[in-house]
Amino acid sequence: MPAFILSRILQAIPVLLVVGFISFAMFAFVGDPVTAMLGQDYTEAQRIALVHKLGLDQPFFVQYAKFMWAAAQGEFGLSYRLARPVSGLILERLPATVELAMTSATLALLIGVPMGVYTGIRRNSFASRAFMVFSLLGVSLPTFLIGILLILVFAVLLGWLPSFGRGEVVHFSHWSTGFFTVSGLKALILPAVTLGLFQMTLIMRLVRSEMLEVLRSDYIKFARARGLSQRAINFGHALKNTLVPVITIVGLQLGGLIGFSIVTETVFQWPGMGLLLVQSIQVADIPVMSAYLLLISVVFMGINLVVDLLYYAVDPRLRMTRRVSANAP
């Protein structure tokens, strides 16, 4: 098992190098940080001094190596826009995005999986049909539209929930959390629903179709022929088998939550990394953009690793090495 994890981490290194190269290439070829930082009036000497200070006069690969070395230590230099270290900016925004994504993911899983199981087992019930219609809305309406509709209903018309911001937060050293204040929790609801709705309905539909597929399989028919109770069949056999393919897609979807949070954070002015990215893109704040890109790829790889480990836990066929001798005829 540790060997497995180690090999996955080693496999991730080339990917990170490539993503790092793309991030770095943005530095090298997009925009002109020097003019951006100097403003309108500057002397040639000032310009050369800044170019030297930023290391832009060094050879390309030296710059790349330096960039990667610094990135590995969490150093992405100064934000062009705010002239503050990028790492600090991101750390400041990270908790908001993580809490939002986690809440959405939890909602999506806790509601999506049971609904998928239910609609799979009770295919023809009224509730199942209602869920399916509802899920169609969830997968087809764009995120920003859902956000705006929710704001319209719950913030503007009903006035129950705030339409923007994060409410009051509590600080634990570097981490700021909205989980412990009423206003923080209230502010979380609409963005979390907006962000999670798509994933939730997707998970539900996925679990449902996998469940239907599994319920048609021979081993479920045989379980019936063995006289097992409906409950034992559905939850002891069908659900477990349903989870194997569902895990991958759900893993990727949850990674996508962080990506999708850009739209949601913009709609709700949620002070997370997505909003930071949008603000940075508007002024071509390359260091922030490349740091974001690298961070997201690390997050995706982390999720992939967790997905693989889950597979490992659920599917004995992957644990082959454990007992090879048992394979004798």
Using CB under 8 A as the binding rule, whether residue 315 contacts other proteins is answered as: yes
Q: Which of residues 234-273 bind other proteins (CB under 8 A)?
A: 236-237, 240-241, 244
| Min CB(322)–other proteins separation in Å | 9
Using CB under 8 A as the binding rule, whether residue 190 contacts other proteins is answered as: no
Residue 316, judged by CB atoms within 10 A of its CB (0-12, 13-18, 19+), counts as exposed
95 vs 132: CA distance, rounded Å: 34
Residue type for 214, please?
V
The residue from 110, 217, 269, 302 that contacts other proteins (CB under 8 A) is: 217
The residue from 48, 156, 232, 278 that contacts other proteins (CB under 8 A) is: 232
89 vs 152: CA distance, rounded Å: 31
Q: Which of residues 286-305 bind other proteins (CB under 8 A)?
A: none
Using CB under 8 A as the binding rule, whether residue 309 contacts other proteins is answered as: no
Using CB under 8 A as the binding rule, whether residue 122 contacts other proteins is answered as: no
| Min CB(125)–other proteins separation in Å | 15
**Residue 58 neighbours by CB distance under 10 Å:** 14
Query: How many residues are recorded in the chain?
Result: 329
Q: Which of residues 17-76 bind other proteins (CB under 8 A)?
A: none
Q: Nearest-CA neighbor of 207 among 184, 235, 167, 169?
A: 235
Measured from the CB atom, the residue of 45 and 320 that comes closer to other proteins is 320
33 vs 35: CA distance, rounded Å: 6
Measured from the CB atom, the residue of 60 and 235 that comes closer to other proteins is 235
Stretch binding other proteins (CB under 8 A), from 11-19, 173-181, 284-292, 313-321: 313-321
Using CB under 8 A as the binding rule, whether residue 222 contacts other proteins is answered as: yes
| Min CB(117)–other proteins separation in Å | 16
**Residue 12 neighbours by CB distance under 10 Å:** 17
71 vs 293: CA distance, rounded Å: 11
Measured from the CB atom, the residue of 157 and 225 that comes closer to other proteins is 225
The residue from 229, 252, 278, 302 that contacts other proteins (CB under 8 A) is: 229
Residue 159, judged by CB atoms within 10 A of its CB (0-12, 13-18, 19+), counts as exposed
| Min CB(210)–other proteins separation in Å | 13
Residue 268, judged by CB atoms within 10 A of its CB (0-12, 13-18, 19+), counts as buried
> Residues interacting with other proteins, by CB under 8 A?
217-219, 221-230, 232, 236-237, 240-241, 244, 314-317, 323, 326-327, 329
